[in-house]
Structure 1
Amino acid sequence: MQSPPVPTFPESVPPAAAPLVGGYRLGALIGRGSIGDVHVATEPVTGQQVAIKLLRPVSDASDDERSLARQRFLAEAETARLLNHPDIVRVLAAGDDHGRAWMAMELLGGCDLERYTRPARLLPEPVVLRLTERLACALAFAHSRGVVHRDVKPANVLVDWSSGRVTLTDFGIARAAGAESTRTGIVLGTPVYMAPEQLAGGLADVRGDLYAFGVLLFQLLTGRLPHESHSLGDLLRQVANEPAPDLRQLRPDLPAALADLVAQLLDKSPARRPRDAQAVADALAQVAAALRVPPAQSGPMSRG
C-alpha cells in the first residue's frame, strides 16, 4: 500500500459534507483488506488523521450471519487494541455506526511488502533477515497475548524506509487463540497463505501463523509462491499433498540454515513446525549473525 494520500473531494462535496463514521470525517479510499475497505479519515475537532476500516457487507450472507460478523469484528478489534507493540499497527477505537462496524487505526506511510515479492524487486538477503526477524518478534508478542493473526502475508506488512518502521497490519480477522470458529459468510484468510490444516477446516492457531510466515519468507527470498495454480482446487490439492520446493534448489546461494528454517515453517504437520514465533525470530537472528548482518532493531533501515 502506498503512502495514504490526503483526501480530496469534488467541489460539490466539500470535506465538511463528507460522511461521519464514529465521529471521524470519512475521506478517500486507500486500501482494501481481507474483510473491509480502508479510508483515510479526520477527527473534526483535532484534525488528527487516521485510517478507518469499514466491515464490508457480504451480499449472500443472512441477517444473522451479518450480525455475527459485526459482533466478531468489534470483539476482535477490541482484542487488537491490547497489542501495544512498535511493530504492530495501533488500533485506536472501534464501534458500530448504524449497523456498519468500523475500526480506527493509526495512519501509516510507506509501502507493503507485496512490492518486494517480484523477482525483479527482491530485497537483499540482509534486509529480508532484519525485516522478518522483527515481524517474527511482533507475531511472538501477539501470540503471547493470546491473539492469532490468521492472515499473515506481504500485503499486510508495511515498511517505511525513512522512519525504519515495519508494521504488521490487518488484524481484522484475528481472534483469541483457541476461540471457537463460526461461519459468517466471510472467507477467513488468504488461501495461498493458509496452512493445510486450516484449508481442511481445522482451527487456526499459532502454527497456522507460522506456516503463513513461511510462505511470506519464501516469497521474499525467491519471488514466487511455494504453491501456485490458476485453479483453486489444484492449489488446495498442492498445499495438502505436495511438499514445498526446496529453497536450495531455487537459491543455492542462501545459507543452509535459512533453507532448513523455511522448510520447517512450511511443513505439512503443525507439530513439525517451529515451536513458536520467538523461536523463528531467534533462528533468523542466528542466520543474520553468521552473515554478519547488524541486529534487527527499530530505526532507519536501508534497502541495501
Structure 2
Amino acid sequence: MKNPLSSLFNLPIALFVVAILAVLYGPSIAPLQHLDRQLYLLAGGARSMQAGYGLTVPIWGELANIGLWMMGVCLWLWLLPRPGLLAAILIACISLAGYTGLQLYAQLQHQLWLPQGVLIQYLLISVPVVLIRAQQKRTWAALVGERDAALLELADIKLQAGQLDQAATHLQTCQPNPAVTELGYQLALQQEQRRAYQAATKTYQWLAGLDPKYKDVSEKANSVLSATVAINSDDLLATQTLNIPQEQQRQPRLGRYRIERELGRGAMGTVYLGVDPKIARRVAIKTLSYKNVAPHELEGVKQRFFREAEATGRLSHPNIVTVFDVGEEPDLCYMAMDFIEGDSLRVNSTEDNLLAVSTVYQLVAQVADALHYAHKKNIVHRDIKPGNLLYDEQHEQVKVADFGIARIVDSSSTKTGDILGSPLYMSPEQLKGQKVTGASDIYSLGVTLYQLLTGQAPYSSDSIANLAYQVINKKCKSVRELRPALPASAPRIVNKAMAKEPDKRYTSAGAMAEALRKALQKDFGIS
C-alpha cells in the first residue's frame, strides 16, 4: 500500500509548508545560514514523494512492530541473563544485526518501512545494561553458592560433633537446596534422638517451609513434641521417660549411645538398654534425673555424681559392674556400664522363687569379695540390696551395681523414701545419720542374705519412721525360725553381719566372704 501522504503533497504545497516552518521554527531547528540547505532537502523529498518513490508502511506493519518488540523484551529479560558473558554479547550482536539487516532489506528491496528504529536504538542502549546486570547477578550467585557450600560443610561437621544448635544456625543461613534440606532432616532426627524435642519441632517446621512434601516433615512439624516424650510424675522416681520409636534412625540417644528400650527403674531414675554404635556394645545406662533436685543443690549433685563416677570407674573387679562412660544431658546425667544378661537377685528374694542355699552362699560371698575390694579403695556402696546385685545364672556370677550412687542421691533434701536409699537395708548408723563406713555395707549384705535365704524381710512396717525404729532397736526373727531346714551356719553369719553395733560385725567384707566359704565347705562340701 502506498503511503497516503504522497498523494496529498505536491511541490507548491511543500514549498509553502517549508516557508511557514522556516518562519516559525527555523531559528530553533537550525542556524539561519543553513536554511537554503534545509529547503533543498525538503524540496527533494517532496519531489520524490510526488514521483511515487516514497516508502510505504504495510498493513501488517504495526503487528510486526509489536512482535519485534516482544522478541526484544524476551531477549532482555530471559535470553541475555542466562548464558555466560561472551555468549550473551554474541547473542546481542546477532540480534542487533538481524534487526538492522531486516530493516535495510525491507527498505531496499520492497520499499517497506518497518518502524523499528526506536527498538534498535533502545537495544543499543539497554543491552549493555542488561549484560552488566546479569554478570553481577551471576557473580553474586557464585559467591552465595560458595558461602552456602562452606556453611553446609561446617554444619555437617558440627552435626557429627554433636553441636546441634550451631549446626542449626549454619544450616538456616543457607539458601534452600536439596542438600540443605537433607542435612536439616538429619539434624532434626538427631535433635529428636537427643530428646531436644522443642528444637526438633522447630527444625521440622523450618523444613516444612522449605519443602512441605519432603519425607514426613509436615507430619513431624506438628507431632514430634507431643508424641515423642512422656512425663512420669511418680513422686519417688520423678524421672522423664523416653518413648522409644520403632524406627532405628529415630531412637533417642544419651550421648553417643542409642537407646533401645527401658530396662527398669531404680533409686537413680530410669535404666535403659543402650548400644554404643562405634563398637556395637550393649550397655546398661542408668540416669539421674534433675527433675526433683532443688535448683540450689543441682550443681552440688552434678559435682558429686561425676566425682563418684570417676572413682567408681577406677574399680576393676569381676564382681563389680564396669563403668564405661558418664555424661550429661540438659535434664539428667547418666552412667553407661556393663549390661548383664539376666535379672537382679530381687527376683530370688521371694518365698516362691528362692535359690538353693549353697548358691546363695556362693553369690553372697562374691558380693562380699567385691565390697572388700571397694572398701580398700575407700569406696562405700551405701545401697547394697538384692535389686543392685545382677545375677548371671548361666555363668553363676553376680555383679554389684551402683557403687557410690547412693551417696550422690541421698544428698538431695527433696527426695524421700527409696530415693534416700532403701531403709529396709540401711544400717542403724546410716538411719541415725552417722558416718557411714564399710561396716554399713556389711550390715546391708546381711539383710540381703536374710531375704535370699527366707524370702522375707527381717523388718516390716507401713511407715518409714516405724521401720527405722525397728532397725535401730528391735531384734529380728532368726532365719531358722522362718526356714528350719537352713544349716546352723545361716543364722550365725546373718546375725553377725546384722549386729546393731558396727564393731560387732565382721571386721571386713573379706572376713564375711571367708565365713561363707567355710560354711559352704562344711555344710555342702563345696570348696
TM-score by length of 1: 0.86
- Of the three residues 45, 52, 56, the one matched with 2:278 is 45
Bigger-Rg structure (1/2):
2
After TM superposition, give the deviation of residue 98 of structure 1 in Å: 3.2
Aligned position for 1:205: 437
**1:10–1:182 CA distance, 2 compared to 1 (3 A):** closer
Aligned position for 2:287: 54
After TM superposition, give the deviation of residue 22 of structure 1 in Å: 1.9
After alignment, is 137-146 or 165-174 more displaced?
165-174
Does the Cα contact within 8 Å between 1:243 and 1:267 map onto a contact in 2?
A: no
Query: What's the CA shift string for 1:215-256, capped at 9, x where partnerless?
Result: 000001111011111222211111111012222322333232
Describe how 1:55-204 pairs up with structure 2 within 5 A.
Answer: 55-59=288-292, 61-98=293-330, 100-171=332-403, 173=405, 182-183=411-412, 185-186=414-415, 187-204=419-436
Q: Does 1:21 align with 2:261?
A: no
RMSD value, Cα: 2.2
Q: The residue matched to 2:405 in structure 1 has which SS?
A: coil
Aligned position for 2:486: 254
**1:174–1:236 CA distance, 2 compared to 1 (3 A):** closer
TM-score by length of 2: 0.51
**1:253–1:19 CA distance, 2 compared to 1 (3 A):** closer
Gapped regions of structure 2 (runs ≥ 5): 1-241
Q: The residue matched to 1:141 in structure 2 has which SS?
A: helix
One-letter amino acid matched to 1:86: P
After TM superposition, give the deviation of residue 206 of structure 1 in Å: 0.6
Q: Distance in 1 between matches of 2:500 and 2:270?
A: 33
Does the Cα contact within 8 Å between 1:173 and 1:189 map onto a contact in 2?
A: no
One-letter amino acid matched to 1:122: L
Aligned position for 1:225: 457
Gapped regions of structure 1 (runs ≥ 5): 1-6, 296-304
Query: What's the CA shift string for 1:77-130, capped at 9, x where partnerless?
Result: 111111101111000011223353111111111111111111121111111111
Q: Distance in 1 between matches of 2:384 and 2:516?
A: 17
**1:195–1:58 CA distance, 2 compared to 1 (3 A):** farther
Q: Distance in 1 between matches of 2:276 and 2:358?
A: 40
Of Structure 1 and Structure 2, the greater helix share is in: 2
Q: Distance in 2 between matches of 1:128 and 1:169?
A: 18
Does the Cα contact within 8 Å between 1:150 and 1:188 map onto a contact in 2?
A: no
Does the Cα contact within 8 Å between 1:50 and 1:106 map onto a contact in 2?
A: yes
Q: Distance in 2 between matches of 1:260 and 1:117?
A: 20
Which stretches of structure 1, 4 residues or more, deviate above 3 A after TM superposition?
Answer: 7-11, 181-188
Q: The residue matched to 2:328 in structure 1 has which SS?
A: strand
After TM superposition, give the deviation of residue 175 of structure 1 in Å: 5.4
Query: What's the CA shift string for 1:30-57, capped at 9, x where partnerless?
Result: 1212122111112233322211112122
One-letter amino acid matched to 1:236: A
Q: The residue matched to 1:291 in structure 2 has which SS?
A: helix
One-letter amino acid matched to 1:267: A
Q: Distance in 2 between matches of 1:113 and 1:188?
A: 21
Q: The residue matched to 1:133 in structure 2 has which SS?
A: helix
One-letter amino acid matched to 1:33: G
Does the Cα contact within 8 Å between 2:258 and 2:275 map onto a contact in 1?
A: yes
Does the Cα contact within 8 Å between 2:273 and 2:285 map onto a contact in 1?
A: yes
Q: The residue matched to 1:53 in structure 2 has which SS?
A: strand
One-letter amino acid matched to 2:326: A
Q: Distance in 2 between matches of 1:134 and 1:254?
A: 20
**1:43–1:203 CA distance, 2 compared to 1 (3 A):** same
After alignment, is 141-150 or 64-73 more displaced?
64-73
% identical aligned pairs: 37
One-letter amino acid matched to 2:315: L
One-letter amino acid matched to 1:71: Q
Q: Distance in 2 between matches of 1:245 and 1:232?
A: 19
